Amino acid sequence: MGSKGGEREAAGVPSGGRRSRLAGRSGAVAAGRIPGDPVSVRVRAGRFVRERWRVLVRLGVWSVLEAGQTFLVGYALARALDAGFLAGNTRAGLLWLGAAGLSVCAGAYGTGRVYGVVAELVEPARDRLVTAVVTRGVREADTGALSGLTQQVEIARDTLAGVVMVTRSFLFTAAGALIGLFSLAPLLLSVVLPPLLAGVALFAATLRPLARRQEAFLAADEALAQELGALLPALRDVTAAGAEERVADTLGERTDTELRAARSLARWSVARVAALAVGGELPAVLLLVTAPWLLDHDVTPGALVGALAYVTQSLLPALHTLVHGLGTSGSRLTVVLRRLNRDSRPRAEQPPKGRGAVSISGSAAGRDQPRQTGTRHTTALALSPQSPPALSLSSLTFAYGPASEPVLHNLDLILQEGAHLAVVGPSGIGKSTLTALIAGLLTPQHGTIRVYDHPVPAPQATVLIPQEAYVHTGTLAENLTLFRNGPVPEAELLAAADAVGLGPLLGTLGGLSATVTPAELSAGERQLIALTRAYLSPAPLALLDEATCHLDPEAEARAERAFAARAGGTLIVVAHRISSARRAERILVMDGPRTACGTHGELLRTSDLYRDLAGGWTTHPAPQPG
Domains of the chain, each with CATH number or no CATH: 16-349 (1.20.1560.10), 359-467+539-616 (3.40.50.300)
What span, in angstroms and rounded, lies between the C-alpha atoms of 449 and 442?
Answer: 11
- Cα 227 from Cα 460, distance rounded (Å): 30
Cis peptide before 38 (omega within 30 of 0): no
* CA–CA distance, 260 with 255 (Å, rounded to integer): 9
The reported pLDDT for the residue numbered 151 is 57
Under the phi-then-psi rule, with left for phi > 0, alpha for psi from -120 to 50, and beta for the rest, what region is 32? left
| Model pLDDT, residue 316 | 86
What's the pTM? 0.42
Task: State residue 361's pLDDT score.
Answer: 29
Instruction: Identify the pLDDT of residue 339.
Output: 57
Q: Which of 27, 124, 131, 160 is nearest to 341 (CA)?
A: 131
- The long-range contacts involving 106-111, CB below 8 angstroms and separated by at least 24 positions, are 106/65, 106/68, 106/69, 107/65, 107/66, 107/67, 107/68, 107/69, 107/70, 109/65, 110/62, 110/63, 110/64, 110/65, 110/66, 110/67, 110/68, 111/66
- In 517-577, which ranges are continuous DSSP H helix? 523-536, 553-564
Number of helices (H) and strands (E), helices first, in the chain? Answer: 25, 13
Contact 607, 589 (CB under 8 A): yes
Res 175: pLDDT:
87
Residues of the chain with pLDDT under 70: 1-46, 49, 126, 128-159, 162, 233-234, 236-238, 240-242, 325-387, 616-626
Give pLDDT, residue 195. 92
- Among candidate residues 377, 381, 449, the one with its CA nearest the CA of residue 412: 377
Kindly give the residue spans of alpha helices, DSSP state H, lying in 441-489: 476-480
CA distance linking residue 616 with residue 613, whole number of Å: 5
Type of residue numbered 507: G
For 102, 415, 570, the CA distances from 603, given in Å and listed in that order, are: 88, 18, 22
Distance CA 68, CA 103 (A): 7
Q: CA 359, CA 357: separation in Å to the nearest integer?
A: 5
Q: Which residues contact 562 (CB under 8 A, 6 or more apart)?
A: 499, 500, 501, 535
Q: Cα 365 from chain centroid? A: 21
Does residue 453 contact residue 388 with C-beta atoms inside 8 Å? yes
Angle of helix 301-309 relative to helix 282-289, nearest 10 degrees?
170
Whole-number Cα distances in Å, 163 to 7, 42, 168, 327, 482:
46, 15, 8, 9, 59
pLDDT at res. 282: 92
